[in-house]
Structure 1
Amino acid sequence: MKKNLVSVIIPHYNGVDFIDQCLQSLTKTTYKPFEIIVVDNGSRDGSQSFIKKHYPQVKLLQSPKNLGYAGGCTFGYEHSTGEFIVFLNNDTTVDKHWLTHLVKTAQTQNIAICQPKVLALRKPTHFEYAGAAGGYMDRWGYVFCRGRLFDVCEKDEGQYDQQVDIFWASGVCLFTKRSVLETIGAFDPYFFMYFEEEDLCWRAHLQNQRVVFVPGAKIYHYGEKTAKKYPFKKYYYFHRNHSILLLKNYAWSSLLRVLPKKFALDMVMMIYFLFKGQWKRSVSIFTATLFLPFHLVSILKLRKQTQHLRKRDEKEIWNMLYPKNIALSYFLRDKKKFTDLLEESPAYWKQLPYR
């Protein structure tokens, strides 16, 4: 390990234009020292030769197959040397001072994981879907962000420019420490894509560690360039991993309270999308649900490993999670902004044990 060095790890699969834009912005970073590691997941568009030619300073790791985002990040981490680790999407650009703010926050406070402000690359005045100003989760595992509820992304007007503790940091740009990953593990490759960052942050909370939003650090994200090409794959992993996330991290007492309603909601969604003519999404929910009983043994092994990390009482974890179902708040109670949730459940926000 090299002290003060930041290892920036970028999983990549096709998209030369995106990785070029990302690497160009990284070269302007003012913080030193840092290294850039690109994990190429078997690109077939000339990405590897392009990076070698135009960015010889980048450490390029080539995988013969697509490891997914989680596997690519873990592979890169295993070949890194930094005291600090950043997992970064390839369709991002960064503000030149981004690392300075993240390192300063991590060094001066007892913090395990940090997230910068995530703005939309195509509309930089607004928050971006995947992360915005930090993530939260309700008790059924449905996620939302400061600055983004479902598809409604707010304009960034400085309304969330306070450093606050959050429940999860976006995998679009997740900053952490090598010492943290050595304790709780890196992204779980079992997830492949979706919910890997929520799983990592939940493990940090089980260890009684903090996850923090750092408003001074800014990045810009294009968003979902790969998932849009493969909608069934996207929906399948989303619904499958949502269930695995809960099964791995909750105590049994909480699972008994949550799972019946969670699976009931899944069935309602499956029927809803079927009647809407979105059969791919309906089938993906069914297939994802069917996956669970056939792989329960392997999921329970992952659960056992996760629960061995526990230093925090389950009641504290339960109280960290939003008490109302965010989908019902959004669709039935017309809560379209994060500030609406502050008004909906003021007692919850005041009692958070990790703020």
Structure 2
Amino acid sequence: MLLLFRRLLLFALTVLITPILALLALTILFFNAVHLLTRFTRRPVADGCTPLPGLASIIILNWNGKELLEECIPSVLEAVRYDGRPHEVMVVDNGSTDGSVEFLRHNFPEVRIVALPENLGFAEGNNAGVRAAAHDVVILLNNDMVVDRGFLRPLLDGFGPKTFAVTSQIYFRDPSVRREETGRTTAIFRRGMVDYSHRPIPATGFRRRYLPAFWAGGGSSAFHKRRFLMLGGFDSIYGPAYVEDVDLSYQAWKAGWEILFAPASVVHHKHRASSARRFSPSCLQCLIQRNQLFFIWKNLRGWRMLLLHCAFLPWNCYRLARDHGLGIWACIVQGILRFPAIQISRLGPIFRAARSDTQIFRLFRQPAVFFSGEGADLREPDPDSPGVLEAKNGAGARPRILWVTAYIPHVGRHAGAGRMYHLLKRIAAHYRVTLLTYLEHEEERTFLADLEPLCEEVRAVLRHPPTRWPLFAYEPFDEFHTPEMEDALRDILEDSDFRLIQLEYTQMASYADRGLRIPTILTKHEVDFAACARRARTESGVLRRLRWFYNYLQVLDREVKLLRRVDGAICMTAPDAEVLRRYCADVPLHVLNTGVDLEYFAQLPVLAAAPRLVFVGAFQHVPNVDAMLHFCRSLFPRIRAVIPGAQTVIVGSNPTPAVLSLADIPGVEVTGTVPDIRPYMASAAVYIVPLRLGVGIRGKILEAWGMGLPVVATPVACSGLRAEDGRNILVADPDERFAEAVTRLLKDPGLRQRLGDQGRRTAEAYYSWDAAAGALLDLYRSYEAARRSRSRMGS
């Protein structure tokens, strides 16, 4: 009750101050307009690319931290000795009264001391040290840092033509403290505020030596001295401390420079040992919140972001008071009082922005964009270059590609999973493959062991469909777009360079991003809108037809938009490609035959004699559900009337409640997921594929042909296959003619044998996985060649 009363009181107080916040918002927008109107007075950054000599001035800011210097200075001097170059070590003393200067002169005479007469704060103290530094790179350290002896070289090696700063990896000196700082900094703009954070460091480390960082910490980073001073150094408006380094780093990103995180450079921090001497926890929180507001009011220029910030000001005031108490509103008051100074600082820069706010925040929402464009000089060496090929000589020189799949590649689950597995197995000899796949349930993790020998890396994400309010009744792709997959994909793309990305199944096209400039190919296992159109035609009721016609229109819109996100698409059959070309003529479409593992699905020496039928399919796929419901309810009773002992075995993962209920029909068995489908297939006299819906190639028919099983299928199921009615298959519409074909085949062992033998020969002649993999490799190489050609033209 007290909590509710407190929140109601805070809400009422927020409403009372909303007019003041509205006036503040109008003022922010007014000054942004002034800034935009005066942008013609600013010029682009004119900065040469003179190589740096590789020497650094290491600057340690100190205020009454004598006991901290006792640990910090020896570690820094050891790091200088270990690097073997004459770097400068400097302590800027901010008017200490604890004898710090005398202590340094007596114990560390090799350290240069810049003694300031009074405490100028973090910003001006560091600025004084940078101006006094002897070398072109300045490394700023807090006095509560202890550095590893090898921390210098990764920082200095990170400076390239566009580098503004390189920041170290941070560990807390107390291992029991939660690691809030890592140095791998990022930020997102959310609900009108900037959320700053340190991203975790993976236990396996990084393949890259450098990654982009949103800001370089002012107590653990190396800065390009000239560029630091060109931007005016740390802004004293944030005094006494906090957010100055974020502000300066953001200006550097805007100027067109870059800030890098060097995980190999390690420092150890006694977290807030310096600030805790001056501020209580509540004052510290207020200071940080105030300076975060200053950052927005000074730096953000984009109208969309500023409008969102202004619109959310009341909510953010309420949220801050709810989480930290009313005292936190002092940061708003301080901000308003210093607002004129902030706007003077806002109008001060003389340089024109090379990047917009949106571009900068996008870099940290999708860091891989950085390596595909501005950070291209930090990419891994091209495996095709002669030097790399000679150095690696063989397997190590294989290009790296990324597969992102909706289902785990595996044999014996469903045809699509088998197709992915067999192609993956064959291209692994030519490419280093990273596989990112969804799992439908935890039990599928056991299949990862089969994939790990084929791939450089395998990462699996258990799929939890997001809880969203759908705008429309039918969302076939949305349930595969999850935050967990987004995060996993972002980490993989940030950590490695890829020649090509292959997305398996239409729903995974939502992860395609042309901004990456990596050729991206989508495998279309089925043209979904065509399947919906066929469903609409087969429905009997008017309302159900209208519903599926609406679904068709909706899926057509989604599918075409998703297809246009990729550089090309692989279709299972020529008819599929022809349908897609009517709506996506601008997207290259390629037809690649699927295949069948003729060793795994080996021909049976003897066909089963019992009158048993088998159907295999994954029941998250609607056409399979429709096929079994229709067959078992409408056609199977006709077969049982002629052959009373006939049985139907339904094999496949994720059977729906409606499919499970079919087991109540005499002679019908529903197995659900099985470890191996082959024994069930071998026990059947006839393999049935009574599909009425869907498009694409039916791998289940190829598997049956591989085992030499006689097949009865519908024209829909045979589309795109080399199916010849009466020669290697019986083809019948899904009505009484289908039941008649099955009955005829059950009664004629000779016909079963002839169809099975010819089906096996057809599979051997036309559906080899080696041929399919060869065609896929040729396709990969054509996209790689096109990319290299574009790169040469761009350069």
Query: Which band: TM-score by shorter chain?
Result: 0.7 to 0.9
- Larger Rg over CA atoms: 2
> What amino acid sits opposite 1:268 in the alignment?
R
SS for the counterpart of 1:4 is coil
> What amino acid sits opposite 1:55 in the alignment?
F
Residue in 2 that maps onto 1:227:
275
Contact 1:88–1:173, Cα closer than 8 Å, also in 2: yes
Residue in 2 that maps onto 1:244:
294
Contact 1:205–1:317, Cα closer than 8 Å, also in 2: yes
> What amino acid sits opposite 2:316 in the alignment?
L
* Deviation string, structure 1 residues 12-55 (Cα, Å, up to 9, x no partner): 11121211111000111122121111111122211111011111
> What amino acid sits opposite 1:179 in the alignment?
R
Tell me how far 1:9 sits from its aligned partner.
1.1
Tell me how far 1:262 sits from its aligned partner.
4.9
Contact 1:165–1:354, Cα closer than 8 Å, also in 2: no
Contact 1:316–1:353, Cα closer than 8 Å, also in 2: no
Stretch moving more, 29-38 or 208-217: 29-38
- CA distance in structure 1 between the aligned counterparts of 2:294 and 2:312, rounded to whole angstroms: 15
Counterpart check, 1:185 vs 2:232 = yes
* Number of equivalent positions: 322
SS for the counterpart of 1:18 is helix
What's the C-alpha RMSD, in Å, of the aligned pairs? 3.0
Tell me how far 1:111 sits from its aligned partner.
1.8
Closer, same or farther in 2 for the Cα pair 1:195/1:263, shift >3 Å?
A: farther
Aligned pairs for 1:318-333 (under 5 A) are 318-320=361-363, 322=365
Closer, same or farther in 2 for the Cα pair 1:41/1:182, shift >3 Å?
A: closer
Residue in 2 that maps onto 1:279:
none
Tell me how far 1:259 sits from its aligned partner.
3.6
Tell me how far 1:129 sits from its aligned partner.
2.8
1:157 to 199, 203, 209: 203
- CA distance in structure 2 between the aligned counterparts of 1:249 and 1:347, rounded to whole angstroms: 30
Tell me how far 1:134 sits from its aligned partner.
1.2
Residue in 2 that maps onto 1:146:
199
Counterpart check, 1:268 vs 2:319 = yes
SS for the counterpart of 1:28 is helix
Counterpart check, 1:90 vs 2:143 = yes
Closer, same or farther in 2 for the Cα pair 1:315/1:157, shift >3 Å?
A: closer
Counterpart check, 1:26 vs 2:76 = yes
Residue in 2 that maps onto 1:113:
165
Tell me how far 1:113 sits from its aligned partner.
1.1
Stretch moving more, 241-250 or 37-46: 37-46
Contact 1:12–1:41, Cα closer than 8 Å, also in 2: yes
> What amino acid sits opposite 1:172 in the alignment?
G
> What amino acid sits opposite 2:180 in the alignment?
Y
Tell me how far 1:343 sits from its aligned partner.
4.2
Q: Percent identity?
A: 21
SS for the counterpart of 1:211 is strand
Residue in 1 that maps onto 2:360:
317
> What amino acid sits opposite 1:168 in the alignment?
W
Asked which structure has the greater RCO (Cα within 8 Å, sep 6+), the reply is: 1
Counterpart check, 1:16 vs 2:66 = yes
> What amino acid sits opposite 1:39 in the alignment?
V
- CA distance in structure 1 between the aligned counterparts of 2:297 and 2:105, rounded to whole angstroms: 42
Contact 1:37–1:59, Cα closer than 8 Å, also in 2: yes
Residue in 2 that maps onto 1:328:
none
Contact 1:9–1:39, Cα closer than 8 Å, also in 2: yes
- CA distance in structure 2 between the aligned counterparts of 1:348 and 1:54, rounded to whole angstroms: 49
- CA distance in structure 2 between the aligned counterparts of 1:98 and 1:294, rounded to whole angstroms: 42
**TM value normalised by structure 1:** 0.81
Contact 2:186–2:197, Cα closer than 8 Å, also in 1: yes
Structure 2: state its 5+ residue gaps.
Answer: 1-51, 367-465, 467-481, 494-512, 518-795
- CA distance in structure 1 between the aligned counterparts of 2:70 and 2:314, rounded to whole angstroms: 42
SS for the counterpart of 2:136 is strand
* Deviation string, structure 1 residues 101-130 (Cα, Å, up to 9, x no partner): 1111214x6322111111111229x88433
Contact 2:55–2:86, Cα closer than 8 Å, also in 1: yes
Tell me how far 1:201 sits from its aligned partner.
0.9
Tell me how far 1:135 sits from its aligned partner.
0.4
Residue in 1 that maps onto 2:775:
none
Residue in 1 that maps onto 2:257:
209
* Deviation string, structure 1 residues 275-306 (Cα, Å, up to 9, x no partner): xxxxxxx41x2111012222221110111124
> What amino acid sits opposite 2:233 in the alignment?
A
1:257 to 298, 305, 308: 308
- CA distance in structure 2 between the aligned counterparts of 1:259 and 1:19, rounded to whole angstroms: 44
Contact 1:320–1:354, Cα closer than 8 Å, also in 2: no
Structure 1: state its 5+ residue gaps.
Answer: 148-153, 275-281, 324-332, 334-339
- CA distance in structure 2 between the aligned counterparts of 1:51 and 1:352, rounded to whole angstroms: 56
**TM value normalised by structure 2:** 0.38
- CA distance in structure 2 between the aligned counterparts of 1:241 and 1:120, rounded to whole angstroms: 24
> What amino acid sits opposite 2:59 in the alignment?
I
SS for the counterpart of 1:45 is coil
Closer, same or farther in 2 for the Cα pair 1:307/1:286, shift >3 Å?
A: farther
Residue in 1 that maps onto 2:11:
none
Contact 2:155–2:222, Cα closer than 8 Å, also in 1: yes
Tell me how far 1:199 sits from its aligned partner.
0.6
Contact 2:93–2:114, Cα closer than 8 Å, also in 1: yes
Residue in 1 that maps onto 2:223:
176
> What amino acid sits opposite 2:354 in the alignment?
K
Tell me how far 1:58 sits from its aligned partner.
1.3
- CA distance in structure 1 between the aligned counterparts of 2:514 and 2:348, rounded to whole angstroms: 27
* Deviation string, structure 1 residues 202-249 (Cα, Å, up to 9, x no partner): 001101111111111111111111333422431232111100111111
